[in-house]
Every structure is written in C-alpha cells, then in structure tokens.
Amino acid sequence: MTELLQLMLEASLLVQMVMVLLLFISLYSWNLILRKSRYLKKAHRAANHFENRFWKGKDLNSLYDRITGAEDEPTGMASIFIAGYMKFVRLRKQPNITSDALLEGSQRAMRVILHREIDQLDTDLATLATVGSVSPYIGLFGTVWGIMNSFHALSGIDQVTLAMVAPGISEALIATAMGLFAAIPAVMAYNHYVDDVDRLTTRYDTFLDEFMGILQHQTHQTRVTIY
C-alpha cells in the first residue's frame, strides 16, 4: 500500500489529476449505488405491502381513505391507485357521462402517474451507465500520458534499461486500474438495477390493467343498477 501511494505521488501532474478525478467519480458512483439500492428495496417493499392490502380488502373506499390519511405520501402502486380511483369517483358524479369516458379518464390519470413513477425508478441509471463507460477511457488517457512522459524523459539516454522504464510505466498503469475500479461496480450496479426497474415497471403496469378491470366491473354494475 505504501509503494502504491508512493507511485501515485511520483506521477506527473496530469496523471495525478486524472487519478483524483477518478477517485471522485468512484466515490460519487458508490453514493449513487447505495442510494439507488435503498430506494429500489423500499419500492419493492411498498409494492408487496400495497398488493397485500389491495387484494385482501374488498372496500376500495376504505383503502383509499387509509392511504390518503397516512402521513407518508403514496408512491408506486399506491399512487397509481389513488390517481385512478380519485378520477373515477369524480367522473362518476358527473351526469350523463358514458362508461367509456369514465374508464378512459381513470386510465389516463393512472397512466400519467405510472410514467412519473417510472421516471423516478430510472433516476441515476443513466449516470451509472456513463460512469461505467467513460471511466476506463479516462484512466487510459492518464496511462497513455504517463507512458509518453516516461519515454520522453529517457529520450536523451543512450542505453535504456527496464529498471529505468518500469517505475514510470507502473505509475501510469495505476490510472487504468483506478478507471476500472470506478467502472466495474457502476456497470454491475446498472445492470442489476435495470432488471429491478423492469420488474417493478411490469408489476405497476399489470396492477393498472387489473385495477381497470375492477373499475370496468363496477361501472357495469352501476349501469345495470340504474337501468
């Protein structure tokens, strides 16, 4: 570890700047990775909790009241349910509204919230992808520059030995290693989180379709009762 630190301190100014940049990128990336992990775990728990409450309960009004009366703002499936059911209740109070208009209005309201939730799930994924793709090239730039400096410093020497070249090359290669150190966790986290987001998006979309079926059934019952 001491030797590694010594090599970093002996590197050229530009290579040191590249190393510092990669260090900050790595720290920032890990911050995003940990924050996204907590957010997605919370989203999965919230989805499981809401599905249990939704399918066990029969009264949509009481479920709506419990969710809107809670201190925490609804997210995920709960926010989709709130938007759709609120619109459904409001439109149903309008005289002479058709069944198609009632259902289309409810679905449109839920679609808006669905897209908003998906945008929230996608937050920071593009940044992780950028870190994973750019960091190795930043490290490679530092390496190439360091090697160029090493050979340029030896240009006036008649007999060059490996012992004279090795330290400069070692210093330069640290930049590549740091680039990979920043990139690999970001790429792995990105792939894992994309899969997580896809699964949550599918669950949200499936719930929306199932809830639309319930609203359609209620609309049909209401029309039958009226007529």
Q: What is the pTM of this model?
A: 0.82
Q: What's the mean pLDDT in 4-21?
A: 73
Quick one: pLDDT band at residue 163, thresholds 50, 70, 90? low
The reported pLDDT for the residue numbered 193 is 96
The reported pLDDT for the residue numbered 94 is 85
- The better pLDDT of the pair 12, 68 is held by 68
**DSSP string of the chain?**
-HHHHHHHHHS-HHHHHHHHHHHHHHHHHHHHHHHHHHHHHHHHHHHHHHHHHHHH---HHHHHHHHHHSSSPP-THHHHHHHHHHHHHHHHTSTT--HHHHHHHHHHHHHHHHHHHHHHHHTTHHHHHHHHHHHHHHHHHHHHHHHHHHHHHTTT-SS--HHHHHHHHHHHHHHHHHHHHHHHHHHHHHHHHHHHHHHHHHHHHHHHHHHHHHHHHHHHHHHHHH-
The reported pLDDT for the residue numbered 227 is 32
Neighbouring residues of 12: CB distance < 8 A, sequence distance ≥ 6: 145, 146, 149, 171
**What mean pLDDT, rounded, does the chain reach?**
84
> Above 90 in pLDDT, residue 199?
yes
> Above 50 in pLDDT, residue 224?
no
